[in-house]
Amino acid sequence: MCDHILDNDIRTCYERCNQYERENNDAFLLDTFFPDGRFGDIIRKRHAQELHVVEQLALKFENLGDTHPLFYLAAELRNGISSANGTVREYNEAVRKEQLALAEVDIAKEALRKQYAKNYFDAQQEKGRVKADYLFPSLSAKNHDDPVEETTDTTEQAA
């Protein structure tokens, strides 16, 4: 979403430059800020590349001077860059936390398997193999795709 907002900020800059050129015939800002005459090349770049180009674009707006009517666009672009960077950091942190949680689950599963095997071995030593097999059945995945037969109550049919 922040990338989309930043893309809209770039579109706004393009439109403001275009409008400024229409109102001031001697200004050639559009060629300065958008050399290809379009903004699509910027917004279609990969995220990191786009942020770099937008940073350069903000610098160009700042170089106009603080008295220029389009100077404020630099601050809007920098706010968009900051917001986009923040969401990328949050996303990367969430992915890192997810990977840590998955690793913890794997560690817990392995610890459970080891404890199950240890308890089974102890039960074999104390109770014998037959009772240990009864207490600790072999856990295997069964095919649950077979349809279950429904039982019908004969008293309902007679009523």
59 and 131 in a single domain? The answer is no
With CA atoms as reference, report the closest residue to 32 among 17, 44, 45. 17
C-beta of residue 98 within 8 angstroms of C-beta of residue 78: no
Single residue among 37, 72, 95 that ends a domain in this structure: 95
12 and 86 in a single domain? The answer is yes
DSSP 145: -
For residue 120, what are the domain limits?
96-135
pLDDT by residue for the chain (159 residues), tens only, comes to 777 788 888 888 888 888 888 888 777 778 788 777 777 777 777 777 888 888 888 898 888 888 888 889 888 889 888 888 888 788 889 999 999 999 999 999 999 989 988 988 888 888 888 888 888 787 766 665 555 555 555 555 554
- Element at 19 (helix H, strand E): helix 2-23
Q: Structurally, how many domains does the chain consist of? A: 2
23 and 66 in a single domain? The answer is yes
Q: Determine the pLDDT at residue 114.
A: 92
63 and 117 in a single domain? The answer is no
With CA atoms as reference, report the closest residue to 73 among 93, 88, 89, 57. 57
58 and 110 in a single domain? The answer is no
- Written as one letter, the residue type at 87 is T
64 and 122 in a single domain? The answer is no
Can you count the helices (H) and strands (E) in the chain? 7, 0
How far CA 111 is from CA of 25, 108, 114, 119, in Å, comes to: 75, 5, 5, 12
47 and 84 in a single domain? The answer is yes
130 and 52 in a single domain? The answer is no
Single residue among 95, 121, 147 that ends a domain in this structure: 95
* Two tokens, residue 87: 């969401």
